[in-house]
Every structure is written in C-alpha cells, then in structure tokens.
DNA sequence: GGAAACAACTTAAACGCTTAACCTGCGTTG
DNA sequence: CAACGCAGGTTAAGCGTTTAAGTTGTTTCC
C-alpha cells in the first residue's frame, strides 16, 4: 500500500477500499449471472411521467418538445412531475421516433495536434447555437480508422459531417453524400451535391510572408517542408516557390521536415551548416519553426539577428515560444464555425448543392524575424538594381 | 469575388458555385414545404436486407452481431447482401432494442487546454479496446454547461462517465450514480457506489521537485500559484509548503498566477525585482513556467545560470520551450486509460462499489534548472550546518 | 341556434432493431 | 424405432419516443 520514490517507474497503485470480492477482471464466466449488463435496468420512461401527472404520453412529449399544443396549466403540471421524478428522455428512442436527429459529426486526424482542438471547439459551439449536438471522431492519421469514423457517422444518422482530415478517400465522401449526409471538406474534394468545400487561403498567407521578408531585405529564403504525402503541404510548397519567383527570387534551399518539432530541429542544424547560409527560413508550421529555432540556437546562430524564422498556423506555441514566432493566422476558429454553418445550410436547404468557402490568412509579426543582417545589404542593393520593380 | 491583401481584416469570401436560389438563411418560412428535414429519408433497413437475401430479419441481426447462431452459408449470403446494398445499421434503433448501449462519456473543462487532448485520446483508445464507443463533452469551465454535459450523458444512456473537470457538483455526480451510471472523478468526490476516484499524486511530484532543487543547493525557492478556487491548485500549494518545511526551508515567496502564460509572465517580472531574489521558482504548471522564463529573460535574468525554473504536468510545451523545462510527468496518458478501465470494471462487476486509483508522478529534468549560483554557496553551507539531516 | 373553427387533449401506429420463444428437420442414442 | 438433442432458422413482442389522426368540449360567427 505504501510507495517509494523511484524516478524510473510509472507508479500506479490500486487501493481497494471495498472488501475484496470475486469480480476482478479475470473473474470466471460461470458465476457471472446477474451482471448489470444483463438485467435491463428498467429506467423511468415517458409513460411513468404521464401516469404520475395523469395525462397521456403524447401530452408529456408535447410539453417536452415545446410544440405549444398544451395548455398552460397542464404544461406546468407535467414539468413539475418531470422534475420531481428526475425523468430524462432517452436520446435514442427520440431519434428513432422522430426520424431526423439534430446531430453533426466532426472527424479530425489527431486531437493532440494543437491545430484541431480550436477547430473542434468552434465547430461544436456553432453547432450548439444552431441547435445541433456534435460527435467527434479521431482517426489518428489512419485511413482504416477514417473509414470507421465515417461509418460511425452513418450509424448515428448525423445530418452532416465536417471532415478535417485528408486521410480520406473521395469514395467515402461520396458514400456519405449519397446517404444525404452533408459534408464539408478541406481543399481536395470538388463541390457537388451535399458536399461543400472549405478552402484556407494558404497561398495568400505564404505570399504575405515572402513579401514581408523581402521588404526586410532578405534574399535567400529557405523553406522547411512537411510530409510530401499531405496535399496541404504540397500546396504550401508550391505557393512558396511561386511567391519567391513573383518577387524575383530563386526558391530554395528546400529542406525536408515532418511537421513536428524533431524535424524542425534537424533542419535547424542543417541550415546552420549551409554556406551561404540563408538569412531567413520559412517553416511549414509553428512547431517546425520552434524546432528550427532550437536547432539554430544549439548551433550558436542568433535568432533573429543572424537569421529570421517564420512559422505558420498561429498556434499558441508561436506566442509562447522564445522568441515569439512570426507566423500566419489562418483563422482556425473560423474554420470550425464556417464548417458548422455550411453543414446547416446544406441540410436545411431544399437544394443541397455544395458551395465553396474561402478563409483568409493573416500575417502576424513576432520576434523571430527582423531585417536581414547588414553584411548582406550591399548584395541586396545589387539585387534591387537587377530586379525589375514589381 | 476577388480579394485584396489587408492584414487587419478577417477575409472570408463566399463563392457560390451554384445558381442562386431562395434557400438562403433568411428564406421565409412560407415556401419551405419540402425540406429534407421534413420528409423522412426512407433509409435502408434490416428488413430490406432480409428480403434481398431471402431470410428473416432475425437472421440478419444474428449475422451482424456475430452470435454464431447462423450457418456458414447463410452468413456469407447475408454479409454479401449487406455489402451490396450498402446497409449500415442504425445505432439508435440498436441501442433502443438492446437496452444496454456500450458507450462511455468523458467530460472535460476545456479541450484547448493542452492537458486534456492527451487524456481524451488515451481514454478513447482504451474504451475502444474494451468495446465501447466514447462521446465527449466540453464544459468550457462553465458549471451550467457541466450540468448540460451530464444530462447529455444520461440522455445517451452511457454506461459510464469520466469526469475530468472540477466544476461539477457532488450532487450531479450522485445523480449519475443513482442512475447506475459509473463515474470516475478526480480527487474531490469520495468513493461510493458507482463512483471511483482517480487521484494524481501531486504531493509526491512536488516533493520530488523540492528535493531535487534542494540537492542542487537552492534555499530560496519561490512558488507561483494558480487560481485559488481550484482544488487541485490548493493541493499543490499545500504540498509545496509541506515539502519545503520537510527539508527545513521556509516556504515563500508565493506569487499569484492564473495557470496561463500571462500570469507567469507577470510573475517573472515581479521575481526579477525581488531582493533577495529566489534562486529557484516552482511554477504550478508548464505554461506558467514558460511565462516566468519569458518574464525573467525580458528583465535580463539568465535561466538557469542565475535562477532555476520548474514547471508541472509535462506538456509538450516543456519540451519545445527554450530552454526545455524541468517538470513533473503526471502520466496523463495513464489518466485516460485508467479512467476507462475503472468505468469498465464498475459497469461489468456485480458489485459496483468504487475504488481509488493513485497515479504516480515523475520528475523530468530539463534545461531550465541547474545548481544554485555560486555566490549563494557559502550561505548554503551555513544552512547545511544548522539544519538537521532529514 | 347550428355549423364551423379551434384549443386541448388522447389514441395508437410507426421508427429500426434485438431477442425470447417457437418451429423444423436431421443425426444420435438406448 | 421412438425419443431426444441440436443446428439453423422464423415469428413476433417489445425498446421509449414522436406524431398523424381522432375525440372532446368550448367559442365564434352569420
């Protein structure tokens, strides 16, 4: 029952307050006759309430659903009976009887990724306002789990699903749509019946960073990419290349990352050794940026004096980091809200044709970026001379 | 339809691909006759499958539930029919008919607080392994929403609820328990029928930090508290005071924080001005620690050379921070897993008496702490002389 | 003053599934 | 060879709601 301090052991102690009895996890099946799973716990039903109040079940139902078909007096009677008995209606019976449940689903890749909680929260908040319940599924980046998540949504007969992950096949999306379940999707899927599209303006965000760095005198701007498989990553990379060319700069060097701290760290070390070293680094997200900064600092390169770093997504991390990170706010809270609005519109409208929503991006300047180092300035001026004005 | 770059405007553009039609949000109610919300979409039922396969609904059900009562050949026939038709069973009808649904709920304060996603994930993962579905409710620290969350759990007839927030009344807990819904709770509630208790060993965690700092020669160790209202915060504060006295040190100074970055920042500035300045600061959580470090750095105090900082909770932040933070791992992932296990045991056992689970804490040394500054050492030796060995 | 309209209910038929109880035919068994 | 057991089904009675349709008793209106 006691315990001792040992830094290397996960200490979990089980203190059983009750006298030990045979119902442990390994309890043999033979004597498991009267488990609560078997005897249906006769719970309070609407009929009990009706009897107690001396009315019909229909009246109770009408009171609970505020249809306005019940007289004032009866209404109060029913309500007080409900309170007295502690009756809570059964959500499942309700849904079954009424046909259409007011539920939305949201599917995300990874709830631990700081990107998602905010989206989930705003989605759920907005859904509530519109009178929907929300259920969440986390796929853990696993396509099989994604299919399971979609199936769960169908089983629960949701009215709409906000798909916030890319590990999902178009086929699955269409399967949902065919069942008349509204879907919002990020980027990939084309708009069609029951399917709307949420598009984050990555291109504009990247453009703003390049523009900003350019104006600070940076000319060698590296890019730390993410996982090549993810479409949104490819989009950002392309946008980087295009924006660079737009201001007359050659893209590169481009380093591989993994969207995680570790990848950024490695990239930071690599960049420190580069010659000539870039004067600015665009990381594909904040987490990578934090890693890059750490890597550079470990290698003795000062940020932002010697090199500027930028992130993307404006997670809280950007704010907490030391130095704070220059990043792009893609308005994650809008993402969730708009998803809910879009689903609502699709499921309420008589014409369920999808739409496309574009969500803007906004540059947020932090401490991790500054003017290009002075020794670069002469070069800059030379560059100015040879590059035509935009 | 176009858009222009403006850093101060949230840019959200709606591009409607479809020809405009009258079903906008402000559409008048008169002509909303045939909305999809009204006409029950006759969806595929088990009867359709049964007919198509030429068997009874009971057989289909038995196949789907793998009761083993169906012959091999029929089984295959049914399964292929299901696939062919794209039939998905209705979760609500299922639950209603079978009485006991296999669902757990989890109630958290704030999904955006990095503490929770990890707990949720491990809870959900474990619940799945045990064969349960999980539904999530976020209370946003609002007691009213907490009540709603609990009601939602009752409506959904969950078998158990993991309550991970403290903004909940004992009354509510008991109401759940009375309905034979298993509950796990943090700290506050006493164990009883259907209620188990998950206790994090904060005391041991704090003790380890004090011990560790003491051994590094620190004698003036400040504490940054959280919100006085939260019970878990009070526990930590008390543990700090007790641990300090246990090694023969006077507790204090104790500064007020808010569990957030901002509070830490303010505390950091305050500490920089203190005279004599503490040589170490224990922050109540990692986020506060990050703030403290930032505040101190801004005031020109070096970490850890001049002052050591410790956090608590071992969030990813501790790892990403610069310097990395010495913290305490309270095994959040265990919290979720154990909650699921505890609920399962309660709901399966014939004797639903709760138990108490103690989850150990573990010191994780980072870069934010180190030996006390040398100029303090003489003082330390004096202290050693006068303090009896532990 | 009688038809019509209405407010305030009640009745009972779904909703889509599970499951206890029942049936049927075939191989075993004493 | 009658009796039995059992594998592999089927039938039908719920599960707890909602809601269309029906039933009152009371106004309203010409």
3-state SS string over A49-61?
HHHHHCCCHHHHH
The pLDDT value given to residue A316: 85
Interface list for B 318-347 with A (CB within 8 A): 319-322, 331, 334, 338, 345, 347
Distance between CA atoms of residues B28 and A245, nearest Å:
50
Structure tokens at B263: 């509070």
- As ranges, strand D nucleotides with an atom below 7 A of a protein CB are 7-12, 14-21
- Per CB-CB distance under 8 Å, the chain B contacts of A359 are 11-12
Q: What is the mean pLDDT of residues B263-284?
A: 95
- As ranges, strand C nucleotides with an atom below 7 A of a protein CB are 7-12, 14-21
The residue in chain B having the minimum alpha-carbon distance to the alpha carbon of residue A119 is B112
Q: How far is CA B54 from the centre of its chain?
A: 49
Interface list for A 70-129 with B (CB within 8 A): 86, 88-96, 99-101, 111-112, 114, 116-118, 120-121, 124
For residue B277, how many other CB atoms are within 10 A of its CB?
17
Q: What is the mean pLDDT of residues B42-56?
A: 91
Interface list for B 220-259 with A (CB within 8 A): none
Least confident of A227-241, B97-111, B120-134, B235-249: A227-241
Q: Please report which confidence band the pLDDT of residue A41 belongs to, taking 50, 70 and 90 as the band edges.
A: low
Least confident of A41-50, A320-329, A353-362, B139-148: A41-50
The residue in chain A having the minimum alpha-carbon distance to the alpha carbon of residue B135 is A135
Q: Please report which confidence band the pLDDT of residue B40 belongs to, taking 50, 70 and 90 as the band edges.
A: low
Q: What share of chain A is helix, strand, coil (3-state, %, to 5)?
A: 45, 15, 45
pLDDT tens by residue, A29-39? 333 333 333 34
Structure tokens at A270: 């690599």
Least confident of A241-250, A343-352, B250-259, B339-348: A343-352
Q: Please report which confidence band the pLDDT of residue B319 belongs to, taking 50, 70 and 90 as the band edges.
A: confident
Q: Print burial letters for A111-139: b (CB count within 10 Å at least 16), e (below 16).
A: bbbbbbbbbbbbbbbbbeebebbbbbbbb
Percent of chain B with pLDDT over 90: 64
Q: What is the mean pLDDT of residues B308-331?
A: 92
The pLDDT value given to residue B41: 56
Nearest in space to B224 (alpha carbons), one of B190, B245, B252, B205: B252
Interface list for B 16-55 with A (CB within 8 A): 16-18, 21, 23, 25, 32, 34-37, 40-41, 43
Percent of chain B with pLDDT over 70: 85
Contacts with B347 (C-beta within 8 Å, 6 or more apart), sequence order: A36, A37, B159, B160, B182
Distance between CA atoms of residues B135 and A105, nearest Å:
11
* pLDDT of B85 strictly over 50: yes
Q: What is the mean pLDDT of residues A2-9?
A: 34
Q: What is the mean pLDDT of residues B13-17?
A: 38
The pLDDT value given to residue B297: 92
* pLDDT of A231 strictly over 90: no
Distance between CA atoms of residues A138 and B106, nearest Å:
14
**Cβ atoms B133, B188 nearer than 8 A:** no
Distance between CA atoms of residues A301 and A322, nearest Å:
14
Cross-chain Cβ contact B120/A111 below 8 Å: yes
* pLDDT of A11 strictly over 80: no
Least confident of A219-223, A287-291, B5-9: B5-9
Q: What is the mean pLDDT of residues B68-92?
A: 93
Q: Can you tell me which residue has its alpha carbon closest to the C1' of nucleotide C13? A: A97
Q: Please report which confidence band the pLDDT of residue A158 belongs to, taking 50, 70 and 90 as the band edges.
A: very high
**Cβ atoms A34, B376 nearer than 8 A:** no
Q: Please report which confidence band the pLDDT of residue B233 belongs to, taking 50, 70 and 90 as the band edges.
A: confident
Whole-number Cα distances in Å, B291 to B236, B287, B329 = 19, 6, 19
Place of tokens 């999530």: B136
Number of DSSP helices (H) and strands (E) in chain B, helices first = 14, 13
Cross-chain Cβ contact B354/A11 below 8 Å: no
The pLDDT value given to residue B350: 74
**Mutate which of B26, B36, B45, B154 to test chain A, going by most A C-beta atoms within 10 A?**
B36
Q: What is the mean pLDDT of residues B305-322?
A: 91
Our measurement of CA A335 to C1' C29, in angstroms, reads 73
Q: What is the mean pLDDT of residues A304-324?
A: 91
Number of DSSP helices (H) and strands (E) in chain A, helices first = 14, 13
Q: Please report which confidence band the pLDDT of residue B223 belongs to, taking 50, 70 and 90 as the band edges.
A: very high
The pLDDT value given to residue A50: 94
Cross-chain Cβ contact B5/A204 below 8 Å: yes
Cross-chain Cβ contact B11/A345 below 8 Å: no
When the pLDDT of each residue in chain B is averaged and rounded to a whole number, the result is 84
* pLDDT of B21 strictly over 60: no
Structure tokens at B281: 């600061």
Distance between CA atoms of residues A233 and A139, nearest Å:
19
Q: What is the mean pLDDT of residues A19-31?
A: 34
The pLDDT value given to residue A12: 47
The residue in chain A having the minimum alpha-carbon distance to the alpha carbon of residue B9 is A362
DSSP class per residue in B212-264: HHHHTT---EEEE---TT-HHHHHHHHHHHHHHHHTT-----EE---SSHHHH
* pLDDT of A347 strictly over 70: yes
- Per the model's pLDDT, the better-predicted residue between A29 and B117 turns out to be B117
Q: Please report which confidence band the pLDDT of residue B34 belongs to, taking 50, 70 and 90 as the band edges.
A: very low
The pLDDT value given to residue A68: 87
**Cβ atoms A200, A335 nearer than 8 A:** yes
* pLDDT of B113 strictly over 90: no
The pLDDT value given to residue A263: 93
Angle at which helix A72-85 crosses helix A57-64, to 10 degrees, equals 90
The pLDDT value given to residue B246: 95
* pLDDT of A87 strictly over 90: yes
Q: Which nucleotide is nearest to B97 (CA to C1')?
A: D15
Q: Please report which confidence band the pLDDT of residue B164 belongs to, taking 50, 70 and 90 as the band edges.
A: very high
Whole-number Cα distances in Å, B36 to A181, A353, B39, B70, B304 = 11, 13, 6, 38, 63
Structure tokens at B97: 């008919």
Structure tokens at B150: 């609990």
Structure tokens at B387: 């303090």
Cross-chain Cβ contact A91/B92 below 8 Å: yes
Structure tokens at A7: 């830094």
Q: Please report which confidence band the pLDDT of residue B315 belongs to, taking 50, 70 and 90 as the band edges.
A: confident
The pLDDT value given to residue B15: 38
């Amino acid at each position: 029952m006691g315990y001792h301090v040992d830094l290397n052991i996960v200490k979990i102690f089980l203190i059983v307050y009750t006298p030990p009895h045979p119902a442990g996890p390994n309890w043999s099946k033979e004597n498991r006759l009267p488990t609560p799973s078997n005897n249906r716990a006769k719970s309070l039903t609407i009929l009990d309430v009706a009897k107690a109040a001396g009315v019909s079940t229909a009246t109770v139902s009408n009171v609970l659903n505020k249809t306005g078909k019940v007289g004032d007096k009866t209404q109060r009677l029913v309500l007080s009976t409900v309170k007295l008995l502690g009756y809570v209606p059964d959500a499942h019976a309700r849904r079954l009887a009424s046909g259409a449940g007011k539920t939305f689903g949201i599917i995300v890749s990874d709830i631990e990724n700081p990107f998602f909680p905010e989206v989930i929260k705003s989605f759920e908040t907005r859904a509530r306002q519109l009178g929907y319940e929300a259920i969440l599924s986390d796929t853990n980046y696993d396509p099989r789990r994604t299919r399971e998540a979609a199936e769960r949504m169908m089983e629960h007969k949701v009215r709409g699903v906000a798909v916030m992950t890319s590990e999902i096949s178009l086929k699955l999306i269409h399967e949902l749509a065919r069942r008349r379940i509204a879907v919002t999707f990020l980027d990939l899927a084309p708009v069609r019946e029951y399917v709307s599209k949420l598009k984050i303006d990555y291109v504009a965000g990247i453009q703003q960073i390049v523009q900003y760095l350019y104006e600070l005198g940076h000319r060698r701007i590296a890019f730390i990419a993410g996982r090549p498989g993810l479409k949104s990553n490819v989009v950002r990379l392309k946008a980087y290349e295009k924006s660079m060319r737009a201001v007359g700069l050659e893209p590169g060097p481009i380093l591989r990352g993994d969207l995680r701290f570790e990848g950024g760290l490695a990239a930071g070390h690599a960049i420190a050794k580069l010659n000539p070293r870039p004067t600015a680094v665009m990381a594909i997200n904040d987490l990578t940026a934090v890693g890059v900064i750490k890597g550079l600092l470990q290698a003795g390169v000062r940020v932002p004096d010697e090199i500027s770093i930028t992130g993307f997504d404006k997670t809280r991390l950007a704010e907490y980091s030391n130095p704070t990170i220059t990043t792009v706010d893609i308005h994650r809270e809008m993402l969730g809200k708009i998803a809910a609005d879009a689903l609502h519109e699709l499921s309420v409208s008589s014409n369920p044709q999808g739409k496309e929503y574009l969500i803007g991006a906004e540059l947020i300047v932090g401490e991790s970026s500054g003017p290009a180092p002075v020794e670069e300035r002469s070069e800059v001026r030379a560059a100015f001379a040879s590059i035509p004005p935009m």
